[in-house]
Amino acid sequence: MKSVAFHNLGCKVNGYEMDYMQQKLQEKGYSIVPFDGRADIYIVNTCTVTNIADRKSRQMLHRARKMNPQAVVVAVGCYVQTDSKKVLMDAGIDLAIGNNKKKDLISILEEYLAKKEEAENNILACEDKTLGGKTIIDINHTDEYESMEITQTAEHTRAFIKIQDGCNQFCSYCIIPYARGRNRSRSMVEVLKEIRNLAENGYREIVLTGIHLSSYGIEKGNDFTSGKLLQLIQEVQKIQGIDRIRLGSLEPRIITEEFVKGIAQCSKLCPHFHLSLQSGCDTVLKRMNRKYLTEEYYEKVCILRKYFNQPAITTDVIVGFPRETQEEFETTKEFLQKIGFYEMHIFKYSRRKGTPAAAMKDQIPEDVKASRSNELLQLEKEMSRKYRETFLHKKVEVLFEEKKVIEGRNCQTGYTKEYIRAVFETNENLSGQVLSGKLTQLLDSDILLFQP
C-alpha cells in the first residue's frame, strides 16, 4: 500500500477538488498521510491567483521532493495550467496534471507508476515528462464540466459543493479565466444527489461554490440570469437533514429584487453574502473591467438589507491597482465606510503576467500598496467589531462544529447563520448540533461568548 500526502493551495473550489482526489485514492487502497512527513507520493493542488501563489506552489512541490527524494511528486491545478512549460521543465516534478483532468488522477498516476516500475526493471524507459505533458488540456477550448462527487470532507458539519467552473468575465487583473477556462455548470440532478448523500452522512450545512458562482446555469449565448441558481437553492431547501445553505462569492449583478425575494423565502438560506467589490472608485472599476459601478453596487446592498435583517455582507478589495491615485483610494475608503461591511479581504495588487493590467503604465510602488492595505485592514477591524456588537444579547442559532480548549477551559465553537464565531463553555460534544441562545460577551476581536 503506497502512502499519499496532499497539500492544497487556493480557493474553496480547489479544496473540494482535493477532497475528491483524496477520497478516490482512499477507495483505491492508498494510505493518506500528513504532508509534513515521509510519503511515497506527494500531491500539491496548486494556485495561480497571484505571483505569490505561484511561488508558494513551487515551494511546496520542492519541499515535497526534499522530504523524500525517491517519492513521486505530482503538481495539479491552476499553476500547472497557466505555466505548463515551466512545470514540465522542473526536475523536481514527476507528473503535471492540469484542470479538468483531476478526475483522472488515479489512472494517470497508476500509468506513471507502472512505467516507472518497468523502467526500474530495465524493461521500458520512463518518459515521465512526456506523460505529464499529456495531462494538460487546452482549458480555453473545452465545454466539458469535470464531473466529481464527494461523500465526506475534512470538515465534520459543513460541506463545500462545487457546482460551477470557469469564468467569462476577464477582469483586467485576473489570470483565472486562463487557468479555469470558460463558464461550465454542473447538472442540477448531480448536485442534488451529492447533497442528499452528504445529508445522510451527517452534514448539516452546505456551501454552494464555484469559480464564478453567479454564472451557474448560464450556457453559451445566454444572458446573465439568476434563475438557475435560485432554482437550485429552492431544491436544496427541500432536502431533509440539511439545516443551512450558504453561498460562495457572488457577482453584484445577480442581486435583483426577484432573486433576493426568492432566496429570502428559503428558511435554510444563511443571510451571509460575499459580494465581490474590488474597488469603491468608479474610475478604478472601469480600469479593472468590472461590469458595475459603485452606485449599482450600493443598490444591490440595499436590496439585500431590504429582505434580510442585518445580513452579513463581506467583500474583497484590491489596493494599489495601476494608476490608483491617493484621491481614488480615499474615494474607495469612503465607499467602504458607507456600505459598512461585516468583513473585508484586503489584497495588495499583484502584477500578473498575461493580464492586461500587468502591461498598464504607472504601477504603484510596494510601499504605497502596503500603507493603503494597512489603512483598510484597520478599517476592517473597526467595522467587523461594530457588526458583531450589534448581535450582543440577541437570540441566535449556533451550529457547533468542534471542541476547543480556550484559556484552559473546555469549549465548543460554532457559527451563527451570519457566520459569527461563537464559543460555549461545556464538556459536552455538541458537534453537528444547533442550539438557540444569546451572544453575551465579545471575548476578542472575532469571537463571542454563547449562552443557551
pLDDT at 241: 94
CA distances 75 to 29, 56, 252, 307, 436, Å, are 21, 12, 34, 45, 45
Residue after which a domain boundary falls, among 370, 388, 406: 388
pLDDT digits (tens, 9 = 90+) for 141-188: 566 777 888 888 777 789 999 999 999 999 999 999 998 988 999 999
- The domain in which residue 236 lies consists of 158-388
Rounded distance between C-alpha atoms, residue 7 and residue 15, angstroms: 10
Q: Are residues 320 and 196 in the same domain?
A: yes
User: What's the CA gap between 23 and 19, in Å, rounded?
Assistant: 6
Mind giving me the DSSP string for 381-399? HHHHHHHHHTTBTSEEEEE
What does pTM read for this prediction?
Answer: 0.89
In this predicted structure, the answer to whether residue 292 has a pLDDT above a threshold of 90 is: yes
Tell me what pLDDT residue 227 has. 85
Q: What is the predicted pLDDT for the residue at 353?
A: 87
Residue pair 301/275 in contact by the 8 Å Cβ criterion: yes
The pLDDT of residue 134 is 42
Asked if residue 150 belongs to a domain, the reply is: no
Domain count, the chain: 3
Residues 144, 100 contacting (CB under 8 angstroms):
yes
At 326, list the grid cell.
491617493
Judgement on whether residues 258 and 399 belong to the same structural domain of the protein: no
pLDDT at 316 exceeding the cut of 50: yes
**Pair 343, 224 in one domain:** yes
Q: Of the residues 137, 169, 191, which one is the last residue of a structural domain?
A: 137
In a domain, 146, yes or no: no
Place of cell 505529464: 132
Last residue of a domain, one of 373, 388, 403: 388
Element containing residue 196 per DSSP (H, E): helix 188-200
| Residues 163, 133 share a domain | no
Tell me, yes or no, whether 145 lies in a domain.
no
β-sheet with 41-46: strand ranges across: 31-33, 3-8, 41-46, 72-77, 95-97
Q: Tell whether 316 and 403 lie within a shared domain.
A: no
pLDDT band at 123 (very low <50, low <70, confident <90, very high): very low
Residue 144 belongs to a domain: no
Backbone angles phi, psi at 121, to 5 degrees: -95, 10
Q: How far is CA 355 from the centre of its chain?
A: 21
Average pLDDT of span 344-360: 94
| In a shared domain, residues 112 and 191 | no
DSSP 278-321: B-S-HHHHHHHT-S--HHHHHHHHHHHHHHSSS-EEEEEEEES-
In this predicted structure, the answer to whether residue 118 has a pLDDT above a threshold of 60 is yes
348 has which bridge partners?
Answer: 319
The answer to whether residue 287 sits within a structural domain is: yes
**Are residues 36 and 185 part of one domain?**
no
Average pLDDT taken over every residue of the chain: 90
C-alpha to C-alpha distance for 234 and 214, rounded to whole angstroms: 15
**CATH number of the domain bearing residue 58:** 3.40.50.12160
Region 241-261 average pLDDT: 96
CA distances from 400 to 295, 327, 396 (A): 38, 45, 12
Residue 147 lies in a domain: no
The 10 Å CB-count burial string (b at 16+, else e) for 242-262 is bbbbbbbbbbbebbeeebbeb
Same domain? 312 vs 185 = yes
Kindly state whether residues 186 and 255 are assigned to the same domain: yes
Rounded distance between C-alpha atoms, residue 158 and residue 154, angstroms: 9
One domain, residues 381 and 262: yes
CATH number of the domain enclosing 345:
3.80.30.20
- Judge if 270 and 166 occupy the same domain: yes
CA distance 170 to 356: 9
Q: Is residue 143 part of a domain?
A: no
Contact, 194 vs 310, CB < 8 A? no
Residue 211 placed within a domain: yes
Are residue 106 and residue 215 in the same domain, yes or no? Answer: no
Question: In this model, does residue 197 exceed pLDDT 80?
Answer: yes
- What pLDDT, on a 0 to 100 scale, did the predictor assign at position 155? 72
Question: What is the reported pLDDT for 221?
Answer: 53
Cell of 79: 499553476
118, containing H or E segment: helix 105-120
CA distance 191 to 262: 20
Taking 60 as the threshold, does the pLDDT of residue 124 lie above it? no
